[in-house]
Chain A
Amino acid sequence: MKNMVNKLVHSAIMLLFSTLLQAQPGPRAQLPDVVPPPQRFATSTGHYEYLYNSHNGGTSHSYDSVPKWEGLWSAQGNNSGNQLFLESLDGSPIGPFGEGENVVIKEGVLTPEYEAAFQYRRDLGVDYDRLTSCEPAGMPRWLLEPYVREFINTPSQSWWTNDLANDTRRIYINQEHKNIDGTHYAAGDSIGFWVDDMLIVHTVDIYPSDYFRGTPPTSNQFETVEVWRMETLNNGTKRLVNNVTFYDELSLVEPITVVYTFWPRQDLQALGFRMRYWECAQNDNTYLTFDDEGRPSTQYRLPGEDGYVDPRGNDRLRNPDLPAGLVGQEKSPIFNDDVQ
């Protein structure tokens, strides 16, 4: 009886997790249907070129006609992340970081090497996140991370920012890929073209990354084809929809197509929120370490401890080349709140 009650409680909780994962904060709306690619493509380049040719190169927008997606936005629902890679043996839902007592990796989605790597990561737990060291989320995680984004479209470029790690994607419209640096990047190299109010984006040259904390890794061969549009729901609310196909010959057995949505944050605008530089390296006192058993873990520095960074005061780690106590060097002079 006790076991049955435990199972029921567990199932109810995991259902809640699952519901929340798919319907993040914001107006509740059903996810749009995923639109699969028009045919099977071996590569993302083949997919993108097919779309480009079938739309005859797309629409050439002016400053006046280019779709405006201004304002603040946050990630809303999606059907990506661990839903793609995990399944529950007893039908109970799966937690946002892949939690669940009877949750196992789906067979046939990841290549054997990446399936084994994912199992290795899961066996260690989720007490580690590469973003702790302040690196940007990058693609594809940019699509799922919370907080606030801005989407600025011009006829020749779109600049899409996420305040988390100042992680800006630049999409070069009606241009070719370029890589003069001989390296990959967190956000990769993105090109795109408009078809009326729909933007099709191809992204390559991406660092090995992940979909979210606790998900499988992606490889440095991961590429995407995205189809973005703004839609108006029945209640008049706007949302941005991204129908994206993931290609990764090293980690995925087959390409995967999913959908992400974003909701407008007039609530934050009304409260006066403005996107600032995300001062992670300067302000953050969490750091990566290893626990007593040698597993990757996370710790938190307190004032006075080695490596503590002061987000407000006159931090000696910031300007050791200036005399101590130089007047006017506190980063925030509004309050006298030194805690060195």
Chain B
Amino acid sequence: MKTTIKILTVAAFLMTTGLESAMAHHSFAMFDRSREEFLTGTIRRWAFNSPHIALYMETEDGTLYSLEGAAPPSVMSRSPSMNGFTFQPGQTVSVVYCPLHDGRPGGALGYIIDAQGTFYSPNDGGCGPSPDWEEWVKQGYTSRAEAEAAQ
């Protein structure tokens, strides 16, 4: 059953972003792809660097989250497309991410949601977020587990 859940998660991600983004130069063993969490904070850095883009975001309690995404050419190909100027320090955004297994403040990016409510998909194989998040955000859920338990 555990394997099926893993496969379902990755399959959902592939359906939304394609196989290219499942590929990377490293595995995603450190990310818990069965969990999807929602956070809001202030961008400290949007690093549009090879081999992976990264978002560093500080939450209200002062915690700095390090969130990794796909490679720049992959992220540019998404809709909406992203580049190094899409997000800037000081900007408030929300994210859906798959956390590190060990509980440190970091993980794999699923979505970035700007103040206008636009969903960006900078993810690679580290996180295949549910397409239901658009609805779940409106309903105020802060994790996939919470949203699914309520339904």
Contact = CB atoms under 8 A, between A and B. Distances in A.
Given A297-B29, A303-B66, A148 B73 contact: yes
Contacts of A300: 30-31, 66, 68, 100, 106
B51 interface: yes
A99 interface: yes
11 contacts: A16-B15, A101-B4, A129-B25, A213-B23, A273-B73, A286-B52, A286-B68, A303-B64, A339-B45, A339-B56, A339-B64
Interface stretch (A19-27, A104-112, A218-226, A317-325): A19-27
B52 A284 contact: yes
Nearest to B25: A131
Interface SS of chain B: mixed
Interface string B27-71: 111110000000000011111011110101000000010101001
B81 interface: yes
Interface string A123-157: 00011110110100000000001111000000000
Interface of A: 6, 9-10, 13-14, 16-17, 20-21, 24-25, 74, 95-96, 99, 101, 126-129, 131-132, 134, 145-148, 163-165, 212-213, 265, 267-268, 271-273, 276-280, 283-286, 291, 297-300, 302-303, 311-312, 334-339
Contacts of A336: 89
A267 B18 contact: no
A99 to B, nearest CB: 7
Contacts of A14: 7
Contacts of A299: 30
A170 to B, nearest CB: 22
Given A17-B14, A300-B66, A312-B47, 15 more contacts: A13-B7, A74-B20, A101-B4, A129-B26, A146-B20, A268-B77, A273-B73, A276-B50, A283-B52, A302-B104, A303-B64, A334-B84, A337-B45, A337-B56, A339-B45
Contacts of A268: 73, 76-77
B140 to A, nearest CB: 28
B117 interface: no
B105 interface: yes
Contact of A302 (B25, B29, B77, B105): B105
A108 B13 CA distance: 34
B27 A128 contact: yes
Given A163-B50, A300-B68, A20 B30 contact: no
Given A6-B4, A16-B15, A145 B64 contact: no
Contacts of A213: 23, 27
Closest 5 CB pairs of A and B: A127-B29, A337-B45, A131-B25, A132-B26, A20-B19
Nearest to A16: B11
A102 to B, nearest CB: 11
A75 to B, nearest CB: 8
Given A129-B25, A268-B73, A339-B45, A298 B30 contact: yes
Contact of A280 (B1, B50, B66, B105): B50
